[in-house]
Structure 1
Amino acid sequence: MNNDSNLIPKLTPQNAKQEHLVQILLAMSQNIPVEVNISGEWELSVILFPTMNYEYRIKPTPTPTPTPIPVSRKTWKKINKEFRFIVMDKNKHFYHCKSAPKSSDKTWLLSEVDHVKSPLIFDSDGINWETSLTERPEGV
């Protein structure tokens, strides 16, 4: 039965620990990875053991480290000043952009009037396309 029939009372967390467990349960039901701390080690968890006093958390997602495109000042001078940014897409194609593009659904959102495919060749080794946004340095 649902809560509208009054056969199951609506429960409300009574303290911070209960509220935290409710959030963890919601995360699990929404397929968001949850970790449990067992003996000082964080491991993925698919089950809650509320009476065991384990510590739970939503698995942290690491912030990607920026991997700028290696563009020398000399090379920037060859690029029209209206282009303030360079990005690399997942296919390792480079684009000059007038304004900073946003990324969405595993791609850069590039406006047709705001970018051009780069005629220059850059080294793509070690560059994560998702963090490749590189801004023109000041004074170049």
Structure 2
Amino acid sequence: MSHIIFYTKPGCKGGLRQKALLTSSGHAVEERSILVEKWTPDTLYPYLKGLDVKEWYNPNATAVKNGTIIPGVLPAEETLELLCSDPLLIKRPLMEIGDNLIAGFNTEYLSKLIELHNVPDEDLTKCQSNVKADSCKTI
């Protein structure tokens, strides 16, 4: 099975469910805080490069949900700077699986890279918090 470096926000319920699927499928998951990592455009871009700029954002981020930030408006360079300055805006999880760097949790794509067992029918990328979005602003 695979060793997966898994960058997420500590305590994020969605991240916990994603990690649980990976570990129950037999993978070793090394969880790291996306908030503690010192992201730069050079270190972040390799995870995002296969996506449209508007897909680089965490759709569950408060600033995205309330319309303060509109994904896809800024050019790539400015978007990378913004994401590095506020890691809660980064699409997550970020994962390293072998030579593959991935942003987001697309079970169909992941199933092509690694074995996944008992994938639930529900969307594992939706915010699982049943409290106000403001509670997700910090650790």
What TM-score do you get using the length of structure 2 for normalisation? 0.23
Greater helix share, structure number: 2
Greater strand share, structure number: 1
More RCO (CA 8 Å, sep 6+):
2
